A and B are shown apart, each in its own frame.
Chain A
Amino acid sequence: MKDSLACEIVVVGAGPAGLAAACTAAGRTRSVAIVDGNTAPGGQIWRGEVRMPGIDRARISQVRLLSDTLVVDCPGDHSLLAVQGDRAVEIRYEKLILATGARERFLPFPGWTLPTVVGTGGLQAIVKGGMRIAGKRVVIAGSGPLLLAVAAYLCRQGARIAMIAEQAPRSAVFRFARTVARSPRKLLQSISLMQSLTGTPYRTGCWPIEAVEGAVTLSRGGKTWSEPCDYLACGFGLVPNTELAALLGCVLQDGFVAVDTCQQTTQPGVFCAGEPTGIGGVEPAIVEGRIAGYCATGRMDEAARLFPERDRGNRFRRALEEAFRLRPELAGLTGPDTIVCRCEDVTFARIAKHGNWRAIKLQTRCGMGPCQGRVCGPAVEFLLGIPPDSVRPPIFPVPVGLLSEDL
């Protein structure tokens, strides 16, 4: 028999949005649980850090935290199936708050499958996992503020950052920097970021066109050159984790989970906060998490007081999207022989023959491997404008043993 747990409010994800939602809800009911796939709370952004600005830490102790617990299915009404180590856990809820965060977007270019080409957040996570990066030469390429944050972190760990290559044009990045500067806290953050990166070349309008062992070819303003490196850390912004929302039947709009003013999805009693509703980092996520926490416990007035702050967060999200929009030239990096689906080794030429995601999956197996389309899906969407289709359970690979326990 599997374990089971029943709570009034269940939050999926212990990043900023999930922690904020759970702590807010915990003020009203003690029956709050967070289910999180990582070993420690904090999400990808605060992985292993003690400081969690904006989170009411005193309240965390009132929340039941299930770490190392992955939600894999929703077997029935108000119920989730999760996997914790070698056990299956059935989790029953009255209200559900999805705070499933985001992942990096990877774009295929020649050489992107080499073992020395890693995600930007990916390299940071591996270094946080104990890998020594000191003395290694790293090129960071792609798009978005994460490049800077990762560069600063790797610098502090002793890495030599040869270059940061941002695909967005200089004008857009500057416009964004001025938007950020309107918020004093953000300005402070970026100043401290830049200070730790003194001397590191930050090139806008610059992107990788090919990786080979020990070097990456970068392109900027029509010129290309080879930049030696031990690692190329590469990520082109973030994409939301919407698999669980889709499995629950929540409507997605332009790839994000659709929510009303209460952060409620189109499924009654299911709320969503943070990156799955729009990419914007910690601050919008915390506000949305708090609103979801209030609304899920019936405190609309308190939620409403946060709406102006959420509006500011949404403006920030739009500015971010505008500034770091991926340039169409990046789609041209993928050659006919470039692998797009890394699980099944499917090349772009094979995928491009088909007009919809279902045909792509059936005829080429793209998206049918263990990543379940999490890596190739956003790439195919960028390259061909074909959005991924249905989500099938389990939403993470699970041992047969855990899917076959008695209900």
Chain B
Amino acid sequence: MSARTADVVVIGGGIVGAACAEAFSAEGSSVELIEERGIGGGASGAGMGHVTVMDDSEAQFALTRLSVALWEELAASLPAEVEYSRCGALWVAADDEEMAEVARKQRFYLSRGVRAEALDARQVAEAEPNLRPGLAGGLLVPGDRVLYAPCAAAWLVNRAMGRGARVHLGVRATANDAGVVTLSDGGRIEARHVVDATGAASGGLVRPRKGYLAITDRYPGFVRHQLIELGYSKSAHGHDDESVAFNVQPRVTGQVLIGSSRQYGVDDSLVGAHLLSRMLRRARLYMPRIATLHVLRAWTGFRAATPDGLPLIGPSPRNAQVLLATGHEGLGITASLGTARLLADWVAGRTPPIPMEPYLPNRFPAEVPS
């Protein structure tokens, strides 16, 4: 079969691949998107859907702030099923030590123009009456948002299709030789650029990091903000084989999403009773009354983790024709739009809105996916 040609082939129809397809189609490029399972069916569908500015490093802050701004630009056009909600995030401090972290975090955000309010014990109790009494306080980041990622990804893909992008569902890319991508259905596409947005399946330095989530029936008002314990960062960036952290999120449906857990070295998607109960116990520790809420479903997914906690965005050191857009760990929903913008700028030869160097795959000379 003779190969078709496209400017860009995007492999992976999660939110990152969807955002890349959307961004390249907006450039006027011809785009073909390849997704084996379903749009938003991998980590995008398994995750919580944070759209959040994070402060773990300057590079992470820059990418997430850019991305949140890009989401805000789209906000008015997002359809209702994307459930884009400006619920804000409340970082919960259990003790004085964590209150010191509240002060540090607040300084970080304020000095960079991000609103953040320190709350004392009484204010936290007023903001979230179902939190346990006796917490030290917290940090409210009113600008944080959540969305429903499978519908957001589908919306981005539909936008790209409206500009002529083609979508191949239910097929895999089996090979990529000298710019010709072979599909499992026998199709071949000759591409100028191939975007690898396969998340935890990227391989190389990207390791799958399993996470659990549970969702409850509808209890409107039970939780008002996205709630995260300040110990979350320890869980997210520690390298323990297994960790849990309190993180619950109100959905616009009134349902409560309960997380979170992180687990290395596990590749089956089994919902293990042990880790699930450990994660739910953590939630009860912070919100005792959550014990009466009914869990409808628990599931697992795989984050794409990198050694330094930053994504891989840019040409692969092994094959410059392949552009990596992977390794977003728990921030893929947020960072999808920023990632797509950086890649589109790079291909167009434009100066990106933020420096791209911290995310370039060549910071790891060997072993990155190609």
**Of all chain A residues, which has the CB nearest B40?**
A362
Please measure, in the bound complex, the distance between the C-alpha atom of A263 and the C-alpha atom of B150, giving whole angstroms: 41
* B104 touches A (CB below 8 Å): no
**Are the C-beta atoms of A400 and B258 separated by less than 8 Å?**
yes
Choose among A355, A363, A369, A399 the residue with the greatest number of B CB atoms under 10 Å from its CB.
Answer: A363
A9 to B235, CA, bound (A): 42
Q: Are A362 and B38 in contact (CB under 8 A)?
A: yes
User: Are B150 and A363 interface neighbours, CB within 8 A?
Assistant: yes
Say how far B131's CB is from chain A's closest CB, in angstroms.
Answer: 15
Within 8 A of A (CB), among B263-298: 271-274, 276-277, 280-281, 283-284, 290-298
Asked whether, in the complex, the Cβ of A393 is within 8 Å of the Cβ of B292, the reply is no
Q: Contact size class for A?
A: 20 to 34
Q: How far is the CA of A263 from the CA of B39 in the complex (A)?
A: 40
For the complex, is A75 an interface residue (Cβ under 8 Å from B)?
A: yes
B259 CB–A CB distance under 8 Å: no
Report whether B273 and A81 are in contact in the complex, using a CB–CB cutoff of 8 Å.
Answer: yes
Quick check: is B151 within 8 A (CB to CB) of the other chain? yes
> Total contacts A to B, CB within 8 angstroms?
91
B297 and A368 contacting across the interface, CB-CB below 8 Å? yes
Proximity bits, A394-407, B CB within 8 Å = 1, else 0:
10011111011111
A359 near B38 with CB under 8 A, answer yes
Q: Are B280 and A400 in contact (CB under 8 A)?
A: yes
Chain A nearest Cβ from B314, distance in angstroms: 30
Contacts of B216 in A (CB 8 A): 400
Q: Is B217 an interface residue (CB 8 A)?
A: yes
> Cβ of B274: which chain A residues have Cβ within 8 Å of it?
75, 407
A370 to B216, CA, bound (A): 9
Chain A positions 373 through 407: 1 when the CB is less than 8 Å from some CB of chain B, otherwise 0 = 00000000000000000001110011111011111
Once bound together, how far apart are the Cα atoms of A392 and B290, in whole Å?
21
Contacts of A369 in B (CB 8 A): 217, 296
Q: Tell me if A358 and B38 are in contact (CB < 8 A).
A: yes
Expressed in whole angstroms, the Cα–Cα distance for A363 and B151 within the complex equals 6
Give B281's nearest chain A residue, CB to CB.
A404
In the complex, B154 has a CB within 8 A of chain A:
yes
State whether B296 touches A399 (Cβ < 8 A).
no
- A85 contacts partner chain B, Cβ-Cβ < 8 Å: no
Name A399's contact: one of B45, B81, B291 (CB within 8 Å).
Answer: B291
Given contacts A392-B299, A400-B216, is CB(A407)–CB(B273) below 8 Å? Answer: yes
Q: B273's contact among A76, A356, A401, by CB below 8 Å, is which? A: A76
Could you write out 26 A-B pairs with CB less than 8 Å apart? A73-B273, A355-B169, A358-B38, A362-B150, A363-B40, A363-B81, A363-B150, A363-B151, A370-B296, A392-B297, A392-B299, A393-B273, A394-B297, A397-B294, A397-B295, A397-B296, A398-B294, A399-B291, A400-B291, A400-B292, A403-B276, A403-B277, A403-B298, A404-B280, A404-B281, A406-B277
Excluding A356-B38, A362-B150, A405-B277, 8 further A-B contacts by CB distance (< 8 Å) are: A75-B272, A359-B38, A363-B81, A369-B217, A392-B271, A392-B297, A392-B298, A400-B293
